[in-house]
Amino acid sequence: MIELELLGLQDGQKLSLNDSEGNRYVLPITDELRAALRTDINAETDQAPRPITPREIQAYFRAGHTVAEVSEISSLPPSQLTNLAYPIFAEREYVAQNARLYRQGHEAGGMTLEELVTSRLVTRDVAVGDIEWDAHREQGEPWMLVATYKSGGTRHTAMWAINTKAQTLSARNDEAIWLTENQIPAPTNPWRRPNTPSANNEPPAGEKMSIIDAKPAAADSAVDIDSMLASLNSKRGKVQPMPEFDGAHPAASEPEAAQDATILPFPIAAAGDTSNSSEPELPSASSPEDVDGQQTIPGVKSASTSAKPKKRRNRPEMPSWDEIVFGYSKDD
């Protein structure tokens, strides 16, 4: 240690000092130096630590600390911390329980995180009851889901970041990546749909079809398709002729299109006739109309032939007026 001696005061704010070798030093005069030089003033004691608030205590619990750890940090007995710890522990358990039920992938009916982790840990001989689930959150950070288990004498911890709005999880360490983000190994037995026969089940002998039998059907279908395409290509861009006259009456604006001027007869259907014959009935040569010399339109019956005589009822006829007055009829 170098011993200094006081040489004097410079500018009333600095002390000039000198060592044994003649080197000079300057020491500023401060309040600390003045208090140290005065023996009647005691040095200020250390400031007392600021008391920790309940919000800060719960932030420690939410970050994953235990009651013993927070008691050591806050210098408070555990009995004063339990009332603040219970609500936070319940919140952590609720978040962890919901995050374990988030489904991995967008497929309907996909596996939940807990189901996927359990299926992976079965290969490590880890029982389902040996997996410990917890959730914690640092100040300003998202919630973290933690799965702790013991395998092969070593304790492992997997961590996922929780997105509560999207209900998704993202792995944060290698253990979590192995448990959830790798593809599931293919099963030893081939997978097949429910209620479907396996590949080893062959159809009966009568239902088998050889390759030779199947080839002609495929060839025929190919020929039909080729011919159809060729026909369509040949007709493409060509004007098709108008269809021929089908026997319907021409329009009034085209009288020259008329082929004949005959009058089409109405179909004749007798009373009670249920036949669908469309041919008209022509009058025979021995009909009464021809005898009388009356002209009839073909296909139309006259009133005399179409009218049927009324049936006489079984009652006496009324006498005429002559028979009543004169006692005889003029026709007699």
Residues 91-136 pLDDT 10s: 999 999 999 999 887 665 678 999 999 988 988 888 888 899 999 9
Residue with tokens 């374990």: 100
pLDDT of 291 > 50? The answer is no
Residue with tokens 């008391």: 51
Tens digits of residue pLDDT in 217-261: 444 444 577 777 777 777 776 766 666 655 556 666 666 666 555
pTM of the predicted model over 0.95: no
Residues sharing a CB contact under 8 Å with residue 320, sequence separation 6 or more, in sequence order? 329
User: Distance (Å, rounded) from C-alpha 164 to C-alpha 96?
Assistant: 11
pLDDT of 75 > 90? The answer is no
- Retrieve residue 268's tokens: 């004749």
CB 158 within 8 A of CB 173: yes
pLDDT of 78 > 80? The answer is yes
Question: Minimal CA–CA distance to 125: which of 155, 88, 158, 150?
Answer: 150
Residues sharing a CB contact under 8 Å with residue 18, sequence separation 6 or more, in sequence order? 4, 5, 7, 24, 25
User: Distance (Å, rounded) from C-alpha 303 to C-alpha 294?
Assistant: 12
Tens digits of residue pLDDT in 125-175: 888 888 999 999 999 899 999 999 998 888 999 999 999 898 899 999 999
CB 92 within 8 A of CB 136: yes
Residues forming a β-bridge with 15: 9, 27
pLDDT of 54 > 50? The answer is yes
